[in-house]
Amino acid sequence: VDSYLSSYAGGVSRSDVDYAEAWAANASQFTAAGSWRARVVNGSLWVRPIHFYEHWKERASVLRILLLAAQQASALGEPLPDSELVFAAADSDPTVLHSRRRCHAPNTSATLHGRRRTRPAANCPRLPVFVHARASALGSTALPLPEYSWVGSYHSPPWCQMQPRFERAAAAWGWEQRDARAYFGGACSTGISRQSLLPLNRTHGELLHVLDVGFGRSGFVNPHDVERAKRSYARLGVGWGNFSAQLPPDYACRFQVLLSVPGFGYSNRLRQLLACGSAVVHVQHARV
């Protein structure tokens, strides 16, 4: 927590929150699918919508977390302190792009994967916005919220219901019964690491079992990203549209080795893979 707050040594003022709200109100649908401003007053939670795009399907999930926290704190006799925050829903950290556009102070002494990092200029406005995904390695000023799928999302029930399902699948598939190949199921064009999976699957099918469910099948995406994905498939020599059916998440429990490979941004599948009791190979996201 201290590292997250290091950008705000002097605290977050009302004007900082006002600036975050103004930024969220003008964010495009590709920067933030939706946003709202919340205020805690005398232990009660009040929320004001800022901008809701039609495709934002998780608009209630984070609110549910805050509401549960406020209710539980009040029930324990220790209500949440009076506070304000702005939340913006995005798969990738929006504060990094904000800093690049508003701050022109290149740090030539540090790069990340060949990309020049930047440091905030002295007059660079801070963006104290709460997000799902935080790119710590790229100088983020974002503040992370708890992972929302614990309380459920539009395409999966809460973890209290999912966990027993994975426990049953793990028990049904003993170690000796499981496929010894390393398994990955997901979109194989979303991220540099994933783009190598399909060629490896063709040449090392005895070691890998990769199911490509396609890019953009589960929600709204930028059309430019779709075109970029199609070009990636062409370079890989893979026909666009030859996608596998989306299988239930506990299908992964049929394999001894599971691959956790980053895509473009936010993902919450690692908890599910660990629940299978298989060996999980986790590739660190370059932007986290």
Task: Residue 137: name the closest of 109, 103, 113 by CA.
Answer: 113
* Mean predicted confidence (pLDDT) in 261-275: 80
CA distances for 23 relative to 60, 83, 100, angstroms: 21, 19, 14
pLDDT band at 237 (very low <50, low <70, confident <90, very high): low
**Cβ atoms of residues 252 and 230 within 8 Å:** no
**Predicted local distance difference test score (pLDDT) of residue 111:** 44
Confidence check: pLDDT of 161 > 50: yes
pLDDT at 285: 65
- Overall average pLDDT of the 162-188 stretch: 93
pLDDT band at 156 (very low <50, low <70, confident <90, very high): confident
More confident residue, 99 or 144: 144
**Alpha carbon distance 287, 140 (integer Å):** 10
Band the pLDDT of 8: cuts 50, 70, 90: confident
Q: What is the pLDDT of residue 218?
A: 46
* 89-95: average pLDDT: 78
CA distance to 94, 104, 138, per residue, from 131 (Å): 8, 24, 15
More confident residue, 266 or 86: 86
| Arithmetic mean of pLDDT, 182-201 | 82
Strands 179-186 and 208-212, sheet pairing? parallel
On the question of pLDDT at 107 being above 60, the answer is no
Contact 35, 88 (CB under 8 A): yes
Q: What is the pTM of this model?
A: 0.69
- Angle at Cα 137 formed by Cα 63 and Cα 226, nearest 5°? 70
d(CA 282, CA 288): 13
Separation of CA 205 from chain center: 30
pLDDT above 70 as % of the chain: 69
HSE-CB of 230 using CA atoms within 13 angstroms: 8
Mean pLDDT confidence for 153-182: 89
* Lookup result for tokens 């080795």: 257
**Euclidean distance between CA atoms 284 and 282, whole angstroms:** 6
User: Is pLDDT larger for residue 221 or for residue 91?
Assistant: 91
Query: What does the pLDDT average to over 98-115?
Result: 51
Q: How confident is the model at residue 280 (pLDDT cuts 50, 70, 90)?
A: very high
- State which amino acid sits at residue 197: L
